[in-house]
Amino acid sequence: MQPTRLSILGVGLLGGSIGLAVKAARIPCRVVGYGHRKETLDRALEIGAIDESATSSKAAVKGADLIILCTPVGLFEQLLAEIAGEIPDRAIVTDVGSTKRSVVKLGEQLVPKSAHFIGSHPMAGSEKRGVEFARADLFQGARCILTPTQRSPNEIVAHVEWFWQKLGMTTTRMSPAEHDRLVCDISHLPHAVAAALISMQPDAALPLAGKGFLDTTRIAGGDGTLWRDILSDNADNLADSIKRFRGQLDEVLKLLAPDKRDELAKWLNQSAARRAKLLAEKLRELDT
Amino acid sequence: MQPTRLSILGVGLLGGSIGLAVKAARIPCRVVGYGHRKETLDRALEIGAIDESATSSKAAVKGADLIILCTPVGLFEQLLAEIAGEIPDRAIVTDVGSTKRSVVKLGEQLVPKSAHFIGSHPMAGSEKRGVEFARADLFQGARCILTPTQRSPNEIVAHVEWFWQKLGMTTTRMSPAEHDRLVCDISHLPHAVAAALISMQPDAALPLAGKGFLDTTRIAGGDGTLWRDILSDNADNLADSIKRFRGQLDEVLKLLAPDKRDELAKWLNQSAARRAKLLAEKLRELDT
């Protein structure tokens, strides 16, 4: 069930953390890393995130039984086209991309029938980038969504689940479309909202920012080009989420009327209670 | 310049932290606390946030030269009416309220001419409530806005500034109207936005929430009734902020068009850079 040779394509925060987490979980497999910058690969070797580095993506997947795409989503097409002819028979290819419809479509098109593509989205990360921020415990307590299709044999999906669970995550299965819709609401919309909150501030307000504002906008500190790829790829869902969110703001405007004071308090208390329940559930997940 | 008898009306997170911070700053003054629950006052005595407790607000301000209103803003009118006849001559009354136009108006109306009212807004706090969360270092590195008017003698404002600075804060002066406008953008709008982000989520999306979503919505975990008072009191500014924010979201919708990919990346990068600059400034403030 477990891989003997793991190929990590793109050794940044996520790729590097996968390598470190594999070592920490004592999965006895050889880890080979590929990236376009030699310094990054050297650093990954140095911290023990990978056992060997490859100078091309083709070389990196040679003999691998598990291949994980860890570059930004925008590079997946090129990467899959490069490695397509070199993917060993029966190898499993998966990824860590934040969108799944386009990625799974590409994966199922470009990975040969002799191998398998299963989409994954480990929901862990940081607004920071680069292997220097990689951590063996990055995935502990996080959730990983797998997006199998009719073309995904159940035992292959189970292999991938086993792998992510070994790294400390809880796994969930859903369709690529459901993934993109739900993750849009809980992750892509908040990113756009946080960026909009920063961008609409008058210069005079910024010096008054406290810890609250910094927390609210933390996710918008992430790399803009990487997030552009995610938001563009999920543009139809994001447009829908923004419109529903705008509708919610219109409700808030109504609740600001002097005769709606009780309803405003009720709505604020309901949001606070919903978040408190969510936080309690997340803390329980981390505990177990 | 320093107070000899400080009266804290409302010994919760902020009132309790003021008491603890006064002790930590070794300001040699007697601290008397008033609150409507005996257990809270006993706890405040126990942790050393206050030196004595008073059973009525009137008794609490007797002989005080500095009086700080630390209850929720919604209770200020009643509290000021109660103590108005008991405020010693030349005493300074200030507050920790998150809105300033209505509070300063009340303060200047109800505090007798023989004393002074100066509005303050120490921008520190937490989504947690109660004296059990009080901390001597709550104000360290935070900003405190003072909102003097034409009726505020400069030396009295300077006294209040000295006090907050002793507790570790940087002070800024602005008019009550400017305060309410700027704080609306940087604090009240983010609160409403965070609450709306929670409230618009479909049930199925919540289990997929990660650390990012929890951080983005942290401020909306605060007490709904307390925040209702703040948002209602600043409803005109908040309506304006929400409308400008909605306009920003409309811009984002436009940037989702396939031919606007470069502009979307540019906008996301600008937001990220603006936040990075703000964070660097805040960290520098904390350092000094």
Of residues B114, B120, B23, the one with CA closest to residue B73: B120
Give the A:B interface size as CB pairs under 8 Å. 275
B280 within domain boundaries: no
pLDDT at A288: 59
For helices B189-199 and B235-255, the axis angle rounded to 10 degrees is 60
**Which has the closest alpha carbon to A121: A94, A102, A141?**
A94
The average confidence (pLDDT) of chain A is: 95
Show the tokens assigned to A198. 């920063």
What per-residue confidence (pLDDT) applies to B2? 85
Whether B148 shows a pLDDT value over 80: the answer reads yes
Q: Does a structural domain hold residue A129?
A: yes
- Read off the pLDDT of residues A187-225 as tens digits, 9 standing for 90 and up: 999 999 999 999 999 999 999 998 899 999 999 998 999
The confidence band for B125, taking pLDDT boundaries of 50, 70 and 90, is confident
Give B68's strand partners.
B8, B94
Q: So what's the pLDDT on residue B279?
A: 94
Distance CA B79, CA B109 (A): 13
Confidence class for position A285, pLDDT limits 50, 70, 90: confident
Q: How close A146 gets to chain B, by Cα (Å)? A: 12
**With bands split at pLDDT 50, 70 and 90, how would you rate the model's confidence at B4?**
very high
User: What whole-number distance in Å separates Cα of residue A44 and Cα of residue A11?
Assistant: 7
Dist CA B134 CA B125 (whole Å): 9
Place A1 in a pLDDT band, splitting at 50, 70 and 90.
low
Tell me how far CA of residue A25 lies from CA of A21, A164, A166, in angstroms: 6, 11, 6
Torsion of CA A191, A194, A195, A199, to 10 degrees: 170
Q: How confident is the model at residue A283 (pLDDT cuts 50, 70, 90)?
A: confident
Domain that holds residue B233: 179-255
Q: Which CATH number is A14's domain given?
A: 3.40.50.720
Mean pLDDT, residues A57-65 taken together: 97
B142 within some domain: yes
Tell whether B241 is covered by a domain. yes
| Residue A260 scores a pLDDT above 70 | yes
Examine residue B122 and state whether it is found in any structural domain, yes or no: yes
CA distance A64 to chain B (A): 31
Q: What is the 3-state secondary structure (H, E, C) of chain A?
A: CCCCEEEEECCCHHHHHHHHHHHHCCCCCEEEEECCCHHHHHHHHHCCCCCEEECCHHHHHCCCCEEEECCCHHHHHHHHHHHHHHCCCCCEEEECCCCCHHHHHHHHHHCCCCCEECEEEECCCCCCCCHHHCCCCCCCCCEEEEECCCCCCHHHHHHHHHHHHHCCCEEEECCHHHHHHHHHHHHHHHHHHHHHHHHCCCCCCHHHCCHHHHHHCHHHHCCHHHHHHHHHHCHHHHHHHHHHHHHHHHHHHHHCCHHHHHHHHHHHHHHHHHHHHHHHHHHHHHHC
Name which of A73, A51, A47, A72 is nearest A7 in CA terms: A51
Looking at the structure of chain A, the number of domains it has is 2
Of residues B142, B194, B225, nearest to A269 (C-beta):
B225
Query: Residue B74's pLDDT is what?
Result: 87
Query: Checking DSSP bridges between strand B170-173 and strand B143-147, what pairing results, if any?
Result: parallel
Confidence band, pLDDT 50/70/90 cuts, at residue B1: low
SS3 content of chain B, % helix, strand, coil (to 5): 55, 10, 30
Does the pLDDT at position A73 exceed 80? yes
Strand partners, A146: A120, A173
Q: What pLDDT is stored for residue B129 in this prediction?
A: 82
Sheet holding A170-173, edge to edge: A119-122, A143-147, A170-173
pLDDT score recorded for residue A2: 85
Judgement on whether residues B48 and B100 belong to the same structural domain of the protein: yes
Shared domain for A97 and A153, answered yes or no, is yes
Whether residue B219 is found in the same domain as residue B251: yes
CA B120 – CA B69 distance, rounded (Å): 10
Are A167 and A229 contained in the same domain?
no
Give every CB contact of residue B127 below 8 A, 6+ residues apart in sequence: B218, B219, B220, B221, B222
CA B256-B258-B263 angle, to 5 degrees, is 60
Task: Name chain B contacts of A194, Cβ cutoff 8 Å.
Answer: 216, 271
Domain boundary among B122, B154, B174: B174
Greatest mean pLDDT among A74-78, A233-237, B1-5 lies in: A233-237
H/E stretch holding B13 reads helix B13-24
The answer, yes or no, to whether residue A262 has pLDDT greater than 90, is yes
The residue of chain B with its CA nearest to that of A272 is B221
C-alpha B175, offset from chain centre: 16
With CB atoms and an 8 Å threshold, state whether A187 touches B213.
yes
Residues B76, B183 within the same domain? no
Question: Contact B199/A267, CB-based, under 8 Å?
Answer: yes
Lowest mean pLDDT among B88-92, B178-182, B210-214, B233-237: B210-214
Domain for residue B17, yes or no? yes
Q: Are residues B40 and B166 in the same domain?
A: yes
Query: Looking at the predicted structure, is the pLDDT value of residue B69 above 70?
Result: yes
Mean pLDDT, to the nearest integer, of B243-248? Answer: 97
Burial of residue A243 (CB within 10 Å: 0-12, 13-18, 19+) is exposed
Do both A16 and A40 map to the same domain?
yes
Query: Which pLDDT belongs to residue A284?
Result: 84
Q: Is the pLDDT score of B124 beyond 90?
A: no
Shared-domain flag, residues A118 and A32? yes
User: Would residue B278 count as lying in a domain?
Assistant: no
**Average pLDDT, integer, range B8-15:** 96
Distances (CA, A) of B100 to A25, A158, B144: 55, 59, 12
Mean pLDDT, residues A157-180 = 97
pLDDT (average), residues B245-264: 97
Residues A152 and A227 in one domain: no
Closest CA to A233 of A72, A139, A101, A116: A101
Under 8 Å between Cβ of B103 and B129: no
pLDDT (tens digit per residue) in B172-224:
999 999 999 999 999 999 999 999 999 999 999 999 998 899 999 999 998 99
Residues of B in contact with A123 (CB under 8 A): 208, 210
Cα distances (angstroms) measured from residue B14 to each of B11, B96, B139, B155, B193: 7, 8, 9, 25, 24
The predicted model gives A137-158 an average pLDDT of: 96
CB B117, CB B140: distance < 8 Å: no
Q: For tokens 């100078």, what's the residue?
A: A55
CA distance B16 to chain A (A): 20
Rounded to an integer, the average pLDDT of A4-27 is: 97
Q: Looking at residue A124, what is its pLDDT?
A: 87
Q: Do B216 and A194 touch (CB under 8 A)?
A: yes
pLDDT at residue A178 tops 80: yes
Give chain A positions within 8 Å (CB) of B258. Answer: 232, 235
In degrees and rounded to multiples of 5, residue B45 shows phi and psi of -65, -45
Same domain flag for A170 and A150:
yes
Looking at the predicted structure, is the pLDDT value of residue B249 above 90? yes
Q: With respect to residue A170, please indicate whether it lies within any of the assigned structural domains.
A: yes
Coil vs helix vs strand at B220: helix
| Residues found in chain B | 288
Q: Name the average pLDDT for chain B.
A: 95
Q: Report, in angstroms and rounded to the nearest whole number, the Rg of chain B calculated over CA atoms.
A: 21
Same domain (yes/no): A160, A188: no
Among A156, A174, A192, identify where a domain stops: A174
The CATH number of the domain where A249 resides is what?
1.10.3660.10
B104 and B127 fall within a common domain: yes
